Amino acid sequence: ASRLGADTVEIVDIDASNPTATIVGDLCAADTLPEASFDAIVLTQTLQFLPDPRRALRHLVTALRPGATMLVTVPALSRVADGTDRWRWTPLGLDELSSGLGCSTSVSGLGNNLACRAFLMGVAAEDLSRAVLEIEDPAFPVIVTARLEKPGPRDRSA
């Protein structure tokens, strides 16, 4: 975010021992994030660890300023990470999860059969050609992405 011009970047973590966390709290708790405070939220590979991902998305949308955007990625395919890893999504599933939050939403699945097999075998993306990685097959997403845009003008003076 800093490389893209963000003046301030907040890092949220439930783990208070994370030295880079600027906000410590649970995204499923309404009081973790201040209301209408963020111009953008980037939530990568996090929802699968939360007990109530819909509640977390609701709180995140509430934390967006009018006119702001949230970018979300979730796994469609992955090994189980630890004892808190709960969920996997298809594009339809993420679209339904993010519906009714008062945002316009765009969801897509990224990946293909070869990328799925390579991922499961532990092959790094750098070991595959860009041409292979750019092929999108809706039947074989590795990752699902969503862009949620909160209506309203962006007010940067707040």
Question: pLDDT of the chain along its 158 residues, tens only?
Answer: 777 778 889 999 999 999 999 999 999 999 999 999 999 999 999 999 999 999 999 999 999 999 999 999 999 999 999 999 999 999 999 999 999 999 999 999 999 999 999 999 999 989 999 999 999 999 999 999 999 999 998 655 44
Cβ-based neighbours of 109, under 8 Å, separated by 6 or more: 76, 90, 91, 136, 138, 141, 143, 144, 145
pTM for the predicted model, two decimal places: 0.90
CA-CA-CA-CA torsion for 133, 148, 120, 140, nearest 10 degrees?
-70
Question: Is the separation of the CB atoms in 87 and 46 below 8 Å?
Answer: no
| 3-class secondary structure, 34 | coil
| 3-class secondary structure, 71 | strand
The pLDDT assigned to 154 comes to 62
